[in-house]
Structure 1
Amino acid sequence: MTASTDHNEQVVDQFTQQAEGYARLTRSMAADRPNGLVALMAPAADDIVLDVACGAGSLTFQISPFVKHVTGVDLTPAMIEQAKAEQIEKGVRNVAWKVSNVCPLSFDDAAFSLVACRAAFHHFDRAREVFSEMTRVCRPGGRIAIIDVSPAPDKSAAFDAIERMRDPSHVHAHTTDELRALATGLPVKEVVVQQIVTPNVPLDAVLATSYPVEHSIDDIRQLFKEDAESGRDRLGMNALLADGKLYVSYPMSTLVWSKQ
């Protein structure tokens, strides 16, 4: 098997285990998340949207009220099952789902007017190729968006290390400049770059969706506790200990390009 095949199997294994808990966590976070993110992508009523590595459909559902149709594609069948269950619960009619690899994407050239990916690029072992595929399936004049964790450059190695301990399918959390560089040489023009922080996420909620292989949950929690107590933010997540509970904050970047 190729390295990518091995990695895809690892992703499916992790997210099959994570699916139910991950869906709960992302629904909870979506309820607290304003629609400013959606506004950055400038959705239009006639947009045909592709949500790449859609997971349980958090972004799919968030953008669906503003566009004509959204297709969510994900490698993990269990994630798509979570998305379908929420679709039935919400009664959303303008979304569809596909279990498929994202590299390559199994769609025609210029099939979509908006192609987005949230909280997944750090799992891609061929990130540049995924972005190239997103560009291919986007129509000229359309938009391509990436939203993902993006640590400070000096915290990148430690951020990746602790995330790989927690989730072995983690590959690399790109810095903002690394995300921008994915577009080099492709027919796109950068139109939005925004950096924010998703603050004070309960660490226990994150660990409830974690299935480490070589480390225990207690070991990982201890590393965050030590980082919080040190006040040095060595892990790049501003770990905070308050009233006996641990919280982490995720640095995020949103980038939007227009297809030329």
Structure 2
Amino acid sequence: MEIKQRVREQFGATAESYVRSRSHAFGHDLGRLLEWASVRPGELALDVATGGGHTGLALARHGARVILLDLTPEMLEAARRNAVERGIAPAGFIAADAEALPLVDRCVSLLTCRIAPHHFADPAAFVREVARVLAPGGRFLLIDSLSSADHELDELVNELERRRDTSHVRSYTLAEWCGFLAAAGLRVERVEVIYRRHEWEDWTVRSGMSEAARDALARWLLAQDRLCRFLDVEFDRGSIRSFRDDKVLILASSPKLRPQAVPQPEG
């Protein structure tokens, strides 16, 4: 099945659970993103793969005019209901592909994307689109799952994610993200690794897994000793209670336009 169709099916069926997810609605990573964003009142911002709308609505509360964009129509409708419940009126809602943003060049000064690109078919194409729509000097804030630079652990982390959610494509390393950004002409300004923990039951239930599928995933993980140590798996009476999930927060910027030289009068 084509990747984008898997994403639409996965998140169309689980949209409301992501709106209600505390780890998406709150969390230290969202607070740090808002700090780094330094929102300017009235500026036009775009939140790509908005999911339940939590990041975009937070930017709106800080004064930005925010467009919420998502590939999945059901998810976008859930974000719209979330906005109504919170009494926030975003600048707009767009159902569209992150790798083909339907916006003109250099139109937004702030672009965010939080905990989503591991579902993208072509993250390099997405970053090129970010560079295209950002105004000179614009800011791009990315948060996503961070994979290990160790090849074996990288493979195991991504296998765990795919077993839990077939719409998962890949979590990338920091070096890979820096490569995507540099190739698109964006400059990395700040990087921070944020250590989070997932409650196992919440993490597996939220993705729509059946009880039998959750049990099978737990058995698979418990058989991966090195991965369990890397994820710092915690147990409760022999069952998985929680595990570590590293996220990376990156602030990148679009180059500012160089001032044109003023012609000097001939003398």
**TM-score, shorter chain, exceeding 0.5:** yes
Among 244, 250, 256, the residue aligned to 1:249: 244
CA distance in 1, matches of 2:146, 2:11: 21
CA distance in 2, matches of 1:235, 1:126: 30
Write the mapping of 1:20-99 to structure 2, written as runs, cut at 5 A.
20-25=16-21, 27-33=22-28, 35-99=31-95
4+ residue runs over 4 A deviation: none
**Residue equivalent to 2:179:** 181
Do the aligned partners of 1:142 and 1:258 also contact (CA within 8 Å) in 2? yes
CA distance in 2, matches of 1:166, 1:236: 18
Write the mapping of 1:103-114 to structure 2, written as runs, cut at 5 A.
103-114=99-110
Amino acid at match of 2:254: K
**Residue equivalent to 2:207:** 210
SS at match of 2:241: strand
| Residues 22 and 30 of structure 1: CA distance in aligned 2, closer, same or farther (over 3 Å) | closer
In the alignment, structure 1 residue 165 sits paired with structure 2 residue 159? no
**Residue equivalent to 1:240:** 234
**Residue equivalent to 1:259:** 254
Amino acid at match of 1:39: E
CA distance in 1, matches of 2:231, 2:13: 24
| Residues 205 and 162 of structure 1: CA distance in aligned 2, closer, same or farther (over 3 Å) | same
| Residues 236 and 109 of structure 1: CA distance in aligned 2, closer, same or farther (over 3 Å) | farther
Pairwise CA distance, 1:237: 3.0
Do the aligned partners of 1:241 and 1:247 also contact (CA within 8 Å) in 2? yes
Note the alpha carbon deviations across 1:104-153, whole angstroms, 9 max, x for none: 10011011001111111111111100000011010001111211010222
Do the aligned partners of 1:224 and 1:239 also contact (CA within 8 Å) in 2? no
CA distance in 2, matches of 1:164, 1:196: 22
TM-score by length of 1: 0.89
Amino acid at match of 1:248: F
Amino acid at match of 1:72: L
Amino acid at match of 2:92: A
Amino acid at match of 2:179: A
| Residues 125 and 39 of structure 1: CA distance in aligned 2, closer, same or farther (over 3 Å) | same
CA distance in 2, matches of 1:66, 1:193: 22
CA distance in 1, matches of 2:186, 2:135: 11
| Residues 236 and 174 of structure 1: CA distance in aligned 2, closer, same or farther (over 3 Å) | farther
Amino acid at match of 2:233: A
| Residues 97 and 197 of structure 1: CA distance in aligned 2, closer, same or farther (over 3 Å) | same
Aligned length: 250
CA distance in 1, matches of 2:209, 2:189: 38
Aligned identity (percent) is: 25
Do the aligned partners of 1:158 and 1:236 also contact (CA within 8 Å) in 2? no
CA distance in 2, matches of 1:208, 1:256: 31
CA distance in 2, matches of 1:55, 1:94: 14
| Residues 186 and 66 of structure 1: CA distance in aligned 2, closer, same or farther (over 3 Å) | same
| Residues 168 and 212 of structure 1: CA distance in aligned 2, closer, same or farther (over 3 Å) | farther
Pairwise CA distance, 1:103: 1.6
| Residues 50 and 235 of structure 1: CA distance in aligned 2, closer, same or farther (over 3 Å) | farther
Among 98, 101, 125, the residue aligned to 1:102: 98
Amino acid at match of 1:173: S
Amino acid at match of 2:57: F
CA distance in 2, matches of 1:169, 1:84: 23
Larger radius of gyration: 2
**Residue equivalent to 2:265:** none
Note the alpha carbon deviations across 1:226-259, whole angstroms, 9 max, x for none: 55xx5x4348432211355511221010111110
**Alignment RMSD (CA, Å):** 2.1
In the alignment, structure 1 residue 222 sits paired with structure 2 residue 235? no
Pairwise CA distance, 1:216: 1.8
| Residues 236 and 63 of structure 1: CA distance in aligned 2, closer, same or farther (over 3 Å) | farther
